[in-house]
């Protein structure tokens, strides 16, 4: 398949180009587009064959449901059952980097939801994503635009590495803002349950919903509840190389030195502040220990970069499980082949 690359400036775009991409969606084709979280691999959510092709292009297991993306919150009302009170609450958080699991109506095809009676919906804030969905005049089903198992793409170059020749169009809209997939919250039971931590933190969720449940599997401390969080059982975000995560602690520097001795040519992904302790070892900087936003934004890019070097192991410094750190650690624990606590 020949993949067309469409350059579109998110801050100053010609609607003509968006319309061109929307024609592909309407024709049942695959379109990669930027969102504020990561790049998405989209198709018309109401076209079963088109959605099936998403799974094929990514090599994604068919029991891992997709998120349906809408340009306006009001548009979800045709596809989900939701009471007025809850609708008002989710309105506060949209558009934005958060996905709501809700009871679905019949018009959402089973292939999107892996046969469940719930559907995950999101209203992205990214101007290209919103315009594309609007011009396509249909919800767009989209997982992240990477090969299944690989780190999510935060830069158009990552998409090209993984999907060139496997999709019809890649919209190049530059680097994304957050670099972490959306927060996923299940709103089908009395107490909202966090299924995937993301840019919208538990603190923020409590402001809107009051009490929320955070299952142990979010912290890697229990097996994933597959009935509720079907996609989370899979290994994700993973470099091909052996990847060791060092959980945050005061004596992390000593631990890393001890560990690094076991390898010929280790690569440490370190905080800016810690780099000086590893002057004799190869390092990549994850960001500042004072700025989790910076680390989150860079996360998937440095995992991909680390995988391309000739080092024999990746050793990565973890952050604290607080605020955005919960999301960062959730991804790192999934990416790691080994965890040192």
Do residues 144 and 38 make contact, with C-beta atoms less than 8 angstroms apart?
yes
Nearer to ligand AMP, 97 or 266 (CB): 97
**Residue 144 counted as an annotated binding residue:** yes
> Which residues are within 8 A (CB) of 131 and not within 5 positions of it... i.e. 6 or more apart?
13, 15, 18, 71
With binding defined as CB under 6 A, does residue 6 bind ligand AMP? no
- Using CA atoms of 295, 300, 303, 307 in order, give the dihedral in degrees to the nearest 10: -160
With binding defined as CB under 6 A, does residue 256 bind ligand AMP? no
Binder of residue 119, out of Mg ion, ligand AMP, none (CB less than 5 to 8 A by kind): ligand AMP
Q: Which residues bind Mg ion (CB under 5 A)?
A: 144
Binder of residue 229, out of ligand AMP, Mg ion, none (CB less than 5 to 8 A by kind): ligand AMP
**Residue 309 counted as an annotated binding residue:** no
Single residue of 8, 66, 82, 159 touching ligand AMP by CB under 6 A: 66
Single residue of 143, 220, 266, 325 touching ligand AMP by CB under 6 A: 143
**Residue 341 counted as an annotated binding residue:** no
- Specify the 3-state DSSP secondary structure of 259: helix
- Positions in 286-315 near ligand AMP (CB under 6 A): none
Do residues 321 and 170 make contact, with C-beta atoms less than 8 angstroms apart?
no
List the one residue out of 333, 302, 32 whose CA is nearest residue 151: 302
**Shortest distance in whole angstroms from residue 246 CB to ligand AMP:** 26
E strand or H helix at 57: helix 48-58
Q: φ and ψ at 173, to 5 degrees?
A: -115, 25
**Shortest distance in whole angstroms from residue 142 CB to ligand AMP:** 7
With binding defined as CB under 6 A, does residue 197 bind ligand AMP? no
- Positions in 151-190 near ligand AMP (CB under 6 A): 181, 184
Q: φ and ψ at 336, to 5 degrees?
A: -75, 145
Do residues 138 and 29 make contact, with C-beta atoms less than 8 angstroms apart?
no
Q: Is the peptide bond before 61 cis (omega within 30 degrees of 0)?
A: no
With binding defined as CB under 6 A, does residue 105 bind ligand AMP? no
Single residue of 65, 109, 192, 220 touching ligand AMP by CB under 6 A: 65
Q: How far is CA 53 from CA 59, 83, 200, 236, in A?
A: 10, 34, 30, 20
Binding site for ligand AMP (CB under 6 A): 64-67, 101, 113, 116, 118-120, 143-144, 181, 184, 195, 229-232
């Amino acid at each position: 398949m020949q993949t067309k690359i469409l350059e579109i400036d998110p801050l100053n775009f010609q609607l003509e180009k968006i319309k061109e991409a929307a024609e592909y969606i309407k024709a049942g084709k695959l379109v990669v587009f930027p969102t504020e979280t990561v790049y998405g691999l989209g198709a018309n959510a109401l076209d079963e064959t088109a959605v099936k092709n998403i799974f094929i292009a990514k090599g994604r297991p068919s029991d891992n449901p997709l998120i349906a993306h809408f340009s306006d919150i009001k548009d979800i009302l045709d596809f989900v059952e939701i009471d007025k009170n809850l609708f008002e609450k989710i309105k506060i958080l949209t558009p934005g980097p958060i996905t709501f699991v809700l009871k679905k109506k019949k018009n959402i095809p089973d292939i999107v939801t892996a046969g469940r009676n719930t559907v995950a919906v999101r209203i992205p804030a990214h101007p290209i994503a919103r315009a594309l969905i609007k011009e396509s005049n249909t919800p767009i089903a989209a997982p992240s635009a990477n090969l299944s198992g690989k780190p999510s793409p935060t830069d158009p170059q990552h998409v090209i590495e993984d999907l060139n020749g496997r999709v019809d169009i890649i919209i190049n809209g530059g680097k994304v803002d957050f670099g972490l997939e959306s927060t996923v919250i299940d709103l089908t039971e009395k107490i909202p349950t966090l299924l995937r931590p993301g840019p919208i933190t538990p603190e923020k969720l409590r402001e809107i919903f009051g009490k929320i449940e955070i299952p142990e599997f979010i912290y890697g401390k229990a097996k994933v509840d597959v009935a509720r969080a079907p996609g989370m059982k899979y290994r994700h975000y993973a470099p091909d190389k052996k990847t060791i995560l060092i959980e945050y602690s005061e004596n992390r520097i000593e631990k890393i030195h001890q560990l690094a001795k076991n390898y010929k040519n280790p690569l440490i992904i370190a905080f800016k502040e810690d780099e000086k302790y590893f002057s004799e070892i190869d390092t990549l900087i994850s960001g500042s220990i004072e700025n989790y936003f910076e680390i989150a934004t860079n996360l998937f890019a440095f995992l991909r970069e680390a995988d391309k070097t000739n080092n024999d192991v990746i050793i990565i410094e973890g952050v604290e499980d607080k605020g955005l750190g919960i999301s960062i650690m959730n991804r790192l624990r999934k990416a790691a082949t080994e965890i040192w606590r």
